[in-house]
Amino acid sequence: MTTRVAVIGSGNIGTDLMIKILRLSSSLEMGAMVGIDPGSDGLARAARLGVPTTAEGVEGLVALPGFEEVRVVLDATSAGAHRHNAAVLAPHDVRMIDLTPAAIGPMVVPAVNLADHLDAPDVNMVTCGGQATVPIVAAISAVAPVPYAEIVASIASRSAGPGTRANIDEFTETTARAIETVGGAGRGKAIIVLNPAEPPVIMRDTVLALVDAPSPEAHEAIRASVARMVDAVAAYVPGYRLVQRVQIDPLPADLPVHTLTAAPATHRVSVFLQVEGAAHYLPAYAGNLDIMTSAALRVAEALAAGQVRREVVA
């Protein structure tokens, strides 16, 4: 039994998501590709692949024949557009997966807290930086107190489309909040860098966490927890990997840690990551987009499995 889904947003992220659903998922079926630009490559590609399309936005989706069979809607538009889309779809029996920084619903990072929000009507996929780094913060905080964590996401400028550029403020705010609420840090900070280098660079992420972990045993527990988390994320994002051994250094005595946190901290943990895309539709350097679509696919399949279980029970 498959679950019919719709994708709103016929740009790069939405199109890559559609391709992943068609190629990789045995439990999901594309019910519609929705856009607002009739000339977009995403809508044209969907039509060639036999996927129903509309260029009339969410209102066009609701009017499509067969819409009543759609159970999950994945929104790859913008934060403002998602608020409108969610309002239009609220009266209908659909679950929403929000790939924008709107964060109307609970923030979900599959490797960390997916099981906690399988009944939520609207789940938020945080940001690309959040999907890459929050798992690491969560892994560290699982074994040692993390009063402060800071992440830097560096992506190729060419992989940052209009939606990403229009939502930079939401990116930093949403990611910082996820570092705290999902990752478990007492305080979080997020920075994004759009790197214009040519050829384009693969996504790189740095996680810096202040921890209260004075013993060598605590350090090894942190490294082991991070390694397990990297494996968990790589299970649905194959291009996700550490680029070097986790570094754990004592904090200098003259470092003004009190400006970052009032809680005790003895060491700084530095984790360096790389995210290479699977190149289903997007170029391999666009790991920032691939990690979003891969995480959203994992969530959609989990929601579909829950939907099937409910139908069987009923």
Q: Which residues are catalytic?
A: 128
Spatial CA neighbour of 35 closest among 92, 17, 94: 17
Pairing of strands 247-250, 188-195: unpaired
Q: Is 288 annotated as a binding residue?
A: yes
Q: Is 186 annotated as a binding residue?
A: no
Cα separations (Å) of 130 from 40, 187, 251? 28, 14, 25
Q: Is 12 annotated as a binding residue?
A: yes
Q: How far apart (Å, rounded) are the C-alpha atoms in residues 11 and 100?
A: 13
Q: Is 4 annotated as a binding residue?
A: no
Q: How far apart (Å, rounded) are the C-alpha atoms in residues 288 and 128?
A: 5
Q: Is 239 annotated as a binding residue?
A: no
Q: Is 314 annotated as a binding residue?
A: no
Q: Is 54 annotated as a binding residue?
A: no
H runs (alpha helix) in the chain: 12-24, 41-48, 57-63, 79-89, 110-113, 128-141, 162-166, 168-181, 216-234, 287-313
Decide: helix, strand or coil at residue 241: strand
Q: Is 268 annotated as a binding residue?
A: no
Q: Is 294 annotated as a binding residue?
A: no
Buried b (16+ CB within 10 A) or exposed e, 44-57: bbbeeeebbbbeeb
Q: Is 159 annotated as a binding residue?
A: yes
Query: Residues with Cβ < 8 Å from 46, sequence gap 6 or more?
Result: 10, 15, 18, 30, 33, 52, 53
Q: Is 160 annotated as a binding residue?
A: yes
Can you read off the two tokens belonging to residue 135?
């798992």
H runs (alpha helix) in 90-152: 110-113, 128-141
Cα separations (Å) of 83 from 105, 188, 191? 11, 25, 24
Q: Is 10 annotated as a binding residue?
A: yes
Which residues carry a binding-site annotation for NAD(+)?
Answer: 10-13, 159-167, 288
Return binding residues.
Answer: 10-13, 159-167, 288
